[in-house]
Amino acid sequence: MEKSLKNKKIVVGVTGSIAAYKSALLVRELIKAGAEVQVVMTPAATKFITTTTLESLSRHPVVVEMFEDIKQTSGAWHVQLAQWADLMIIAPCSATTLSKVANGLSDTALVCVAMALPPEKPLLIAPAMDFDMWQHPATQNNIRILKSFGYTIIPPAEGELASGLIGPGRLPDIPVLMDRIFKSLDNLENQSEINLDNNISNLNEKPLESIDESLEKDKWNTELELEMLKKKMQLQTFDKLKGKKILITAGPTIEKIDSVRFISNFSTGKMGFALANFAAEIGAEIILISGPTQLEPPTKCNFILVQSAEEMYQEVMKYFQNIDIAIFSAAVADFTPKIKFEHKMKKEEVGESVAIELVRTKDILAKAGKSKTHQFIVGFALETDNLLENAKRKLQEKNCDLIVANLANVPDSGFGGDKNTITIIDKFGKETKFMPLPKLQAAKEILKAIAERI
Ligand code: CTP
């Protein structure tokens, strides 16, 4: 039988999170199930979803500010709204609102309503934030406080987050939220049947938890602890890169034909910039030498913009002796025009056809490999065929410690896209293959592989 929320009054709190758009789906499902819904938003939430959307779905005005004129007729409107509700759910709940509710900081209309909620009424909180914010001890401490108040925390789901990282942090799907709402209201009804002499002290007790729910929480807590342990170990691994001087080449190079034309390739620099971003984040000193791209270099890095393979070579060699690690992710042009015209080549000068003689550029990685003393060298191999075989050959010929093999011209790999499908091979032949990963995540795996080997 379809579950019903007929005659149930629900306050939905929405906070500033990328998942705020899902609150519209939640309100729609609640209304479909027969509930009456009123929405309270934080000012930050309005940056992600409009009040108009939630007003038309809930068929009630949406409150954002504590002192909005429309609400001032009744004085303590927040108390009345809290008294009106049978249940309040904050979904998504940002780290900020989580902290405010845990610490009683009622400086938004939403937190005022949450705090005015009578203790017997369930308050469900569905946190959604980036993985690192979720794992932060401050957030976890706030979660413990909120649980001790008897509030129900709906654990975030795992998956790809807005930041590109993968882990717990996503707002669970709407059916999961709906299920928790049904369960909380069912518990409440069962509880009031059990507590026939419903005295005021019982109102402070936690809502009853089903065996399934407590098993789910246990499972989730174990997963979280494992995740935190893994993270701690990873942090220790990345500690090895702290303060290390890392040189990264990125992007394409452009090889001039004349003053307005050039030869280049489709590289966007995303992989190299992701490596620079992540390495800077974990405290390495970065020299990023890149050909022209549309990307913003990380603020904490020495950024050197070059055009041609020759310029990239000169810059790399300037720094190479004094660095600890070099990662060659640039798609360096292998050929450059033998003659570069100073002026714009005119059609009448060349006639109906023109042959441009190309000569080999310097192989920067191979030259670095030859002159290496202490540096740990990472190459990339972008292939269309025989991926692993070619990558292993390049690893040896160019004297690399590690090579990152990736296929060109397939979805989720190589140039341009936001993902890459990599296989990391070390000089002892150990191969690690990864599923398609966002480039920031792929960068993390490459830096982890380096940290484990230096
Ligand atoms: N590389 C370089 N300088 C070049 C060419 C390549 O530093 N002139 C580096 C790339 O940055 C990459 C590695 O060498 O780390 C392999 O590049 P790739 O283009 O895959 O291979 P090539 O050695 O150029 O060989 P081929 O084009 O024949 O596959």
Mean pLDDT along residues 374-402? 96
Residue at 400 is within a domain:
yes
Residue closest via CA to ligand 1's atom 21 equals: 381
Which of the two residues, 418 and 392, has the higher pLDDT score? 392
Residue 230 maps to a domain: no
Same domain, 160 and 269: no
Is there a single domain that holds both residue 172 and residue 248?
A: no
Give the rounded percent of residues in the chain with a pLDDT score beyond 90. 66
Domain closes at, from 206, 227, 252: 206
197 in the same domain as 124: yes
Residue 192 or residue 123, greater confidence: 123
**80 belongs to a structural domain:** yes
Looking at the fold, whether 121 and 186 belong to one and the same domain comes out as yes
In this prediction the pTM is 0.57
Judged against a pLDDT cut of 70, whether residue 99 lies above it is answered with: yes
- d(CA 406, CA 441) in angstroms, rounded, equals 15
233 domain-assigned: no
On whether both 275 and 414 belong to a single domain, the answer is yes
Domain at 183, CATH number: 3.40.50.1950
Handedness of CA 183, 186, 191, 194 (dihedral sign): negative
Query: For residue 374, with 0-12 CB atoms within 10 Å meaning exposed, 13-18 middle and 19 or more buried, which class applies?
Result: exposed
Q: Is 24 in the pocket of ligand 1 (CB under 6 A)?
A: no
Residue 282 Cα to ligand 1 middle (Å)? 27
Whether 381 is in the pocket of ligand 1, judged by its Cβ within 6 Å, is yes
| 383 touches 408 (CB < 8 A) | yes
SS (H, E, C) 178-245: HHHHHHHHHHHHHHHHHCCCCCHHHHHCCCCCCHHHHHHHHHHHHHHHHHHHHHHHHHHHHHCCCCCE
Ligand 1 near 107 CB (within 6 A): no
Residue 365 beta carbon below 6 angstroms from any ligand 1 atom: yes
Report yes or no on 74 lying in a domain.
Answer: yes
Mean pLDDT of 230-254: 88
Summarize the confidence of residues 399-404 as an average pLDDT: 98
- In whole angstroms, give the CA distance from residue 388 to residue 390: 6
Three-state SS for 110-161 is: HHHHHHHCCCCCCEEEEECCCHHHHHCHHHHHHHHHHHHCCCEECCCEEEEC
Whether 198 and 142 map to the same domain: the answer is yes
Pair 183, 322 in one domain: no
- Does one domain contain both 27 and 155? yes
Residue 382 and residue 272 share a domain: yes
Cα angle for residues 176, 177, 178 (degrees, 5° grid):
90
| Judgement on whether residues 80 and 140 belong to the same structural domain of the protein | yes
Q: What are the pLDDT digits (tens) for 305-344?
A: 999 999 999 999 999 999 999 999 999 999 999 998 889 9
Better pLDDT: 416 or 361: 361
Going by alpha carbons, the residue nearest to atom 14 of ligand 1 is 365
Residues 6+ apart with CB under 8 A from 412: 419, 420, 421, 436
pLDDT score of 111: 96
| Domain edge (last residue) among 181, 206, 231 | 206
Best mutation site among 394, 406, 415 for ligand 1 pocket (most ligand atoms within 8 Å of CB): 394
Both 200 and 264 in one domain: the answer is no
- Position 160 scores a pLDDT of 66
| Domains of the chain: total | 2
Which range marks the domain in which residue 403 is found? 241-342+351-453
- Mark which of 206, 225, 257 sits at the end of a domain: 206
pLDDT value at position 73? 55
293 and 188 fall within a common domain: no
Residue 274, domain member (yes or no): yes
Q: Sign of dihedral through CA atoms 143, 132, 243, 402? A: positive
Q: Is residue 223 part of a domain?
A: no
pLDDT in tens, 136-159: 999 999 999 999 999 999 999 877
Is residue 232 a part of any domain in this protein?
Answer: no
The answer to whether the beta carbons of residues 133 and 21 sit under 8 Å apart is: no
**Pocket flag, ligand 1, residue 379 (CB < 6 Å):** yes
pLDDT for residue 120 is more than 70? yes
pLDDT for the residue 324? 98
265 is catalytic: yes
Mean pLDDT of 417-443: 91
CB of 38 within 6 A of ligand 1: the answer is no
The CATH number for 330's domain is: 3.40.50.10300
Instruction: For residue range 181-239, list pLDDT tens digits in order.
Output: 999 998 777 765 544 444 434 434 444 555 566 566 565 556 666 666 666 666 778 89
Candidate of 265, 317, 332 to mutate for ligand 1, largest count of ligand atoms within 8 Å of Cβ: 332
